[in-house]
Structure 1
Amino acid sequence: MHIASVGVSKFCFLFSLAFCGLLLLLIPALQPLPRQVDLPKPRPQARPAQVGTSEGLGKPIKTEISRNSYPKTGKGVRRIPERGIGGPQEYRSHDKLELKDIFIAVKTTRKYHKSRLELLIQTWVSQAKEQTFIFTDGDDKELQMRTGANIINTNCSAAHTRQALCCKMSVEYDKFIESQRKWFCHVDDDNYVILPSLLRLLSSYHHSQDVYLGRPSLDHPIEAAERVKSDGSVSVKFWFATGGAGFCISRGLALKMSPWASLGNFISTAEKIRLPDDCTIGYIIEALLEVALTHTHLFHSHLENLQKLPIDTVLEQVTLSYGGFENRRNVVGVVGGFSLAEDPTRFKTVHCLLYPDTEWCPKLKPRHRN
């Protein structure tokens, strides 16, 4: 009897466990279904406006810069990359440049006022009197009164030494900064500046950009001891544009040169690296400011063979030069109304090709029909 009671108890216990397990399985199914919530619908995307149209309505937008609006800069000049709408601002904003925006500095010395300077004043300077400033080392009131040229006595030494050259360049830089003009261009007293070409070249850039334009006299960078950032135990390599061919610097870059160039600092910088004026310009720009020289073959000095310059490209250049006492025949091979004896530098011939209406230019005789 006792054994039967124990069996019944075990059976009831197992039945209870089975019933509880069944309830656990059935509870999720017996719960009411959750209320379905409507998910937020995505916002309709606006159709993007087409490039070159107004608000996507198909009305063309007039833009100031187009692919064909970049001025041609001639051979050998690194061009500004052509960018479409939405490109970097510096590539889309070019200067609407006029001659009055350019500061042209001519470096000379008192003993060359007669032999070199008067030729420049008679030719290209006559077309840019207000833009050209002649930096010399002695007063010449008579020449200034007779020609109306802007002659500035730098009070620097007349010697052709590193110190004297850097002294004049220091004055040139300061005068340019004072002028508020957009471009600083330096040339020597044996350079002819072809003004239309200069204007066309500089118009390819914007004066707020970091632009250093010129032609190296060497085929490799120059190396100098670094005495500005260090104690001179290390060297630095950089390119520089030779002053004998001329170079141009944008105002934006010139202002960045100020710590090493303004108010006499140029002279102290040159003394630290012990290099001439044009080399010091390259050092400040390339080595200190890390702005690369833009190499161009449109600038020419007497150091190159000028007779190799193709005659049909002469008037497209920016600067020309001529040989000195050691090589008087090193001139551009242009022909015109002057003989080589009358015009040994060929500057008068070039000038009359550019400005045939000049009073002293030979007039071409009209051809008579037979």
Structure 2
Amino acid sequence: LKGIVFVIQSQSNSFHSKRAEDLKRDILKQAVELGKELPTVLLIHQIDRHEGAWTILPLMTDFSVTYGRNSSWIFFCEEDTRIQVIKLVETLRRFDKSKEWFLGKALYDEESTIIHHYAFAENPTVFKFPDFAAGWALSIPLVNKLAKKLKSEPLKSDFTIDLKHEIALYIWQKGEGPHLTPVPEFCTDDVNSYKADHCATTFSNFLPLCGEPVRKEDIFVAVKTCRKFHGDRIPVVKQTWEREAALIEYYSDYADISIPTIDLGIPNTDRGHCGKTFAILERFLNHSSSRTPWLVVVDDDTLISIFRLRKLLSCYDPNEPVFLGERYGYGLGTGGYSYITGGGGMVFSRTAVQKLLASKCRCYSMDAPDDMVLGMCFSGLGIPITHSPLFHQARPMDYPKDYLSHQIPVSFHKHWNIDPVKVYFTWLAPNTEESHNGKKVGYNREDL
């Protein structure tokens, strides 16, 4: 056991750091009960020399220096991964620790997808990448090799979009490095599932709920739209999730009383929308009638469950500066910053909006990408971004089925080549069982 270094992919937000600390305690408690020497357990958000620590690869050099001689494995997992330490030790024993191993539960794309830049377009199923929820492991010889490579070829300043896929690509090195080896004991079944008997890891796949869901009236929803989409996208919002929101406004470049939309006096831009988003933030702070604690900014082609969001937000404190959604990164190998990608929905606590607008950070142009500018601003203010994998920048078909199977999603994005109303009712609509007990339920998702 002392040959395994545990790395929890944790976050600094108080709700998340507490969950990670609980997991760390559980791992150490199991080690004591087994009468073993205590292993090293690291929390990624505490390795804070580095805004990009969550992207893992920049840490390889440190891992190699610190653990390269006296450890055998680095085992990564999420805060909601549950580990049976004895089974994990037995599982890793099967692999020769002097060789380069990349172990995990394998995911693959069923069709090529924009979030992976359409990689392996001829046959996307050939390339396997790890489901972080099940835990994944690198043998120390592989860590040492990656550290050496990073020295000679530093990471490019680039986007981080789907980290698990990008790490697998980097390790594979176009065939020079190892493929992911699937390990059946790394599981994402729920801990109480009959399927989990053979598993060394399981995953608690419920929507977090901390007390009562946030009240409908405590969430202000801002929908970004423009005149050309009033006719096709807005009717979808009205047929699907609008009824779940108590406070909702549509912001456009044209005031249309039939919707109604509000013209913020900002001309539409083909891309970016930074000016519009900052105008929405100002309006939320200065005009929204009450002191609503939460603001959600979505696109007119975002599909979202406000019902589930209310449960999720019960775990966050609106008196903290919270900026929540699906996290992407830009240039994190070389400084850079993280940001919440706009299409999946951006959630702000009122405190976060106050701190942002009190700073001097603003759009460098009206059509700058709003989500990236916000990321840059919050990074400069030292306000961390909080990632939730339940928000999605793309459509359900853009993600592996196995990955979505242990999620209760909060949002998807884009109407391209799908029936958005059907996607909403299949994936996001509150169903009767869920609204009663909040448990995970079986969806009929196969036909999407």
With normalisation by structure 2, the TM-score equals 0.45
1:368 corresponds in structure 2 to none
Deviation readout 1:16-37 (Å, 9 max, x if unpaired) = xxxxxxxxxxxxxxxxxxxxxx
Structure whose residues are more often strand by fraction: 2
Cα distance in 2, alignment partners of residues 275 and 142 from structure 1:
30
Report the CA distance between 1:218 and its aligned residue: 4.4
Change (3 A) 1:201 1:352: closer
Deviation readout 1:310-359 (Å, 9 max, x if unpaired) = 56556x211122352xxx15xxxxxxxxxx6xx67522444666379xxx
* Contact 1:124 1:192 (C-alpha < 8 Å) held by counterparts: yes
1:131 corresponds in structure 2 to 247
1:244 corresponds, among 343, 355, 358, to 343
* Contact 1:94 1:206 (C-alpha < 8 Å) held by counterparts: no
Report the CA distance between 1:152 and its aligned residue: 1.5
Change (3 A) 1:278 1:94: farther
2:326 corresponds, among 203, 215, 223, to 215
Alignment of 1:98 with 2:215, yes or no, is yes
2:231 corresponds, among 114, 124, 133, to 114
Cα distance in 2, alignment partners of residues 319 and 184 from structure 1:
15
Alignment of 1:255 with 2:354, yes or no, is yes
Change (3 A) 1:221 1:247: farther
SS in structure 1 at match of 2:229: helix
Q: Which amino acid aligns with 1:243?
A: G
Which runs of structure 2 are paired with 1:79-228 in the superposition (5 Å)? 79-81=16-18, 97-128=214-245, 130-144=246-260, 151-162=261-272, 165-178=273-286, 179=288, 180-218=291-329, 221=332
Cα distance in 2, alignment partners of residues 251 and 344 from structure 1:
31
- Count of paired positions: 228
Change (3 A) 1:156 1:273: closer
Report the CA distance between 1:216 and its aligned residue: 2.6
Q: Which amino acid aligns with 1:285?
A: F
| RMSD (Å) for aligned C-alpha atoms | 3.4
Which residues of structure 1 form unaligned runs of 5+?
A: 1-76, 85-92, 145-150, 224-235, 330-339, 357-370
Change (3 A) 1:79 1:94: farther
Deviation readout 1:84-107 (Å, 9 max, x if unpaired) = 9xxxxxxxx988731111111111
1:31 corresponds in structure 2 to none
Change (3 A) 1:222 1:249: farther
1:301 corresponds in structure 2 to 393
Cα distance in 2, alignment partners of residues 271 and 219 from structure 1:
17
* Contact 2:239 2:421 (C-alpha < 8 Å) held by counterparts: no
Which residues of structure 2 form unaligned runs of 5+?
A: 1-13, 23-209, 434-448
SS in structure 1 at match of 2:343: coil
* Contact 1:100 1:131 (C-alpha < 8 Å) held by counterparts: yes
* Contact 2:227 2:254 (C-alpha < 8 Å) held by counterparts: yes
Change (3 A) 1:113 1:221: farther
1:284 corresponds, among 359, 377, 383, to 377
Cα distance in 1, alignment partners of residues 331 and 388 from structure 2:
15
With normalisation by structure 1, the TM-score equals 0.54
* Contact 2:309 2:410 (C-alpha < 8 Å) held by counterparts: yes
